[in-house]
Structure 1
Amino acid sequence: MLRITSLVKRYGDGAPVLQDLNLEVAGESIVSIIGASGAGKSTLLRCINRLVEPTSGCIELNGVELTSLKREGLRRSRRHIGMIFQGFNLVDRLTVMENVQCGRLGYIPYWRAALRRYPAEDIERAFHLMERVGIAHYANKRADELSGGERQRVGVVRALMQEPQILLADEPTASLDPVTSRQIMELLQSLADEFKLPVLINIHNVAEAKEFTRRIVGMRFGRLIFDGPPDALDADAMHRVYSGTPAEERGHVHPDILEATA
């Protein structure tokens, strides 16, 4: 269970990027976060794993209060928060296997990683997961020789190697073509079920959010504007998330919104 209470993030003297945000994500659920650019979606994910420090509020994962952790405690807890990035964040000169093993850096001594002397059980698990997502035959290939979809699958396996208690995905399909984008969303959907994982996905494609996730959270200016099942995300809710006003106040519904809410 991820529980976020009264979360605030402010940079300097500017307006808060996140404003008194409250959110709970239960186990075995897949939740998408939608909203216009600047709504605070990426900041929210980065606050959860402390890549960005919250200004105030509480973030709790399975009974552990993350916002109060320091150094070793934070390192141990980060091991259980898998992160999938829009830009893949792979080391291009390393092989697929070496990139995947980066997911074990929180578990093994530094010298093992530096010398590429990975434990046998980690190599076995990596092959199993790579086979699961269809990239086992690329184990010894350099990351910069892969397509975008293949690179993102490496990122997914790297996150799973952490033995995560939650997966965070920050625009995981934004750099991909439509066909590959759907494949990655289908993969995340199936992995959430298979590994009994809560998955929190920051996504711009509303149609994919409605098709592949079970709950949608809409953000605007750092606040939660919508929280419900895909079927409840109608044209009026879309207008409130993306324009801040109900549809009837605008007098029309944009065709793109009609298509996404169909």
Structure 2
Amino acid sequence: MLKITDLVKRYGTGDPVLKDLNLTIEGETVVSVIGSSGAGKSTLLRCINKLVAPTSGSIVLNGTELTGLTGRQLREARRKIGMVFQGFNLVDRLTVMENVQSGRLGYLSTWAALTRRYPREEIRHAYELMERVGIAHYADKRADELSGGERQRVGVVRALMQRPEILLADEPTASLDPKTSEQIMQLLRDLAGELKLPVLINIHNVNEARLYTDRIVGMRYGRIIFDSVPGDLTDAAMDEIYSGIPSQDRAQDRAADAAAAPRLAT
């Protein structure tokens, strides 16, 4: 279970990017985070894996408080958090297998990592995962020879090689065409169920959030203002998330418009 309590992130002396944010994720659920650019979606994910340090608040993953960790303890905790990036973050000159095995670097000795001497069991596991996502036949191919969808599948497998307790995905389909985007979202959804793994996805495509995730969290100006199942994401809720118009205000506006309509017609 991931439990975030009163999370605040401030850069310098500016206004907080995240403001007293509270969020709990458990089970094999797939949760999407939506909102306008600047809402704090990416910062939220980066605080969870401590790519950026929270200013205050608490982030607990399966009983481990992450916010105060440093050094070796932080490296060990990060092993439990898989991350899929928008820009893939692959090493182009390395093969698919070598990129996938980089997900195990936190477990290898420095010598094994430098010489790329991967344990036989890890190679076998990598092939199993690559077979599952349809890229096993590319194991010896350089990463820069792959399409965008294939590269993102490599990124997914690399994250799963960590044997994570949660999977984070930061705009995983932003660089992909619509059909490939749907395939990646379906893959993430399927893997969540197969591996009993919670998945948290920062995404701009609201239709994909509705279709492929179990729960939608809407953010605006660093706060969560919507948290429910996709069926509850009404036009009024969308207005509030993307336009800053509270649902009750929008309902009042519509009522006023309806009342004014007969007068305007006369």
Q: TM-score range by the shorter chain?
A: over 0.9
Name the aligned partner's letter for residue 235 of structure 2: A
Deviation at 1:250, TM superposition (A): 6.2
Q: Distance in 1 between matches of 2:152 and 2:134?
A: 12
| 1:177 and 2:177 aligned | yes
| 1:92 and 2:81 aligned | no
1:10-39 deviations in Å (ceiling 9; x for gaps): 001101000000000012111000000000
Query: Which residue of structure 2 lines up, in the alignment, with residue 49 of structure 1?
Result: 49
Q: Distance in 1 between matches of 2:8 and 2:27?
A: 24
Query: Which residue of structure 1 lines up, in the alignment, with residue 121 of structure 2?
Result: 121
Q: Distance in 2 between matches of 1:156 and 1:175?
A: 15
Query: Which residue of structure 2 lines up, in the alignment, with residue 141 of structure 1?
Result: 141
1:81-108 deviations in Å (ceiling 9; x for gaps): 0000000000000000000000001101
Name the aligned partner's letter for residue 34 of structure 1: I
Q: Distance in 1 between matches of 2:110 and 2:43?
A: 29
Q: SS of the counterpart of 1:67?
A: coil
Unpaired runs of at least 5, structure 2: 256-266
Q: Distance in 2 between matches of 1:166 and 1:6?
A: 20
Q: Distance in 1 between matches of 2:79 and 2:45?
A: 15
Name the aligned partner's letter for residue 97 of structure 2: M
Q: Distance in 2 between matches of 1:94 and 1:70?
A: 30
| 1:58 and 2:58 aligned | yes
TM-score, length basis structure 1:
0.95
Name the aligned partner's letter for residue 198 of structure 1: P
Query: Which residue of structure 2 lines up, in the alignment, with residue 166 of structure 1?
Result: 166
> In terms of mean alpha carbon deviation, does 242-251 or 170-179 score higher?
242-251
Q: Distance in 1 between matches of 2:165 and 2:54?
A: 21
Query: Which residue of structure 2 lines up, in the alignment, with residue 238 of structure 1?
Result: 238
Moved over 3 A (4+): 246-252
Q: Distance in 2 between matches of 1:187 and 1:250?
A: 41
Q: Distance in 1 between matches of 2:252 and 2:169?
A: 34
Query: Which residue of structure 2 lines up, in the alignment, with residue 11 of structure 1?
Result: 11
Paired residues in the alignment total 252
What pairs with 1:19-30 in structure 2 (closer than 5 Å)?
19-30=19-30
Name the aligned partner's letter for residue 216 of structure 1: I
Query: Which residue of structure 2 lines up, in the alignment, with residue 157 of structure 1?
Result: 157
Query: Which residue of structure 2 lines up, in the alignment, with residue 194 of structure 1?
Result: 194
Query: Which residue of structure 2 lines up, in the alignment, with residue 216 of structure 1?
Result: 216
Q: SS of the counterpart of 1:217?
A: strand
1:200-241 deviations in Å (ceiling 9; x for gaps): 000000000000000000000000010000000000000000
Unpaired runs of at least 5, structure 1: 253-262
Q: Distance in 2 between matches of 1:30 and 1:251?
A: 33
Q: Distance in 1 between matches of 2:123 and 2:254?
A: 59
Q: Distance in 1 between matches of 2:232 and 2:182?
A: 22
Deviation at 1:110, TM superposition (A): 1.5
CA RMSD of aligned residues (A): 1.1
Q: Distance in 2 between matches of 1:2 and 1:54?
A: 15
Q: Distance in 2 between matches of 1:197 and 1:212?
A: 15
Deviation at 1:248, TM superposition (A): 3.6
Q: Distance in 2 between matches of 1:110 and 1:35?
A: 41
